[in-house]
């Protein structure tokens, strides 16, 4: 497998650090996880000119890049603050799942993982499917109001 250009790697590292800050997340605490995802993004920058998520299989990468839904930061990250690649996570390395719809893959695998910075990220939250199950702290707050 070819290595990405240093310019693409540098660009993707800068992007990942900036997006983590902007979204109120951190990059995965295990360096090899972060490095693998950033390298995959850089390779797609070289191949496609766009940071297509490296954690999916695509029959047609060019067509998928045009759809933009798996462009980093992908729709799931922009809507639900959930990164299936585990690039953007909480400090403990867990992906944020509290905004995902009930029955989604992330909730099934990790359960409800709360967002420590709910005031940051989720630029496309208006596109979210409503979640039927409130987070425990939200449920408690709602009960206290009743």
Instruction: Note if 72 is an active site residue.
Output: no
d(CA 98, CA 24): 14
55, 74, 83, 85: which one is catalytic?
55
User: 13 to each of 32, 55, 56, 91, how far by Cα in Å?
Assistant: 14, 17, 20, 18
Alpha-carbon gap, residue 52 to 97, rounded angstroms: 22
Residue 123 CB neighbours (<10 A): 13
Burial of 27 (0-12, 13-18, 19+ CB in 10 A): buried
The residues annotated with a catalytic role in the active site are: 55
């Amino acid at each position: 497998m070819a290595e990405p250009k240093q310019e693409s790697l540098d660009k993707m590292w800068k992007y990942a650090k900036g997006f983590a800050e902007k979204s109120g997340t951190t990059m995965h605490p295990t360096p090899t996880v972060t490095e693998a995802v950033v390298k995959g993004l850089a390779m797609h920058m070289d191949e496609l000119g766009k940071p297509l998520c490296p954690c999916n299989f695509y029959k047609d990468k060019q067509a998928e890049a045009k759809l933009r839904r798996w462009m980093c930061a992908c729709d799931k990250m922009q809507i639900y603050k959930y990164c299936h690649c585990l690039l953007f996570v909480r400090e403990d390395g867990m992906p944020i799942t509290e905004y995902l719809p009930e029955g989604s893959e992330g909730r099934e695998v990790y359960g409800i993982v709360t967002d420590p910075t709910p005031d940051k990220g989720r630029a496309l939250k208006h596109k979210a499917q409503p979640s039927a199950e409130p987070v425990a702290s939200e449920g408690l707050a709602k009960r206290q109001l009743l």
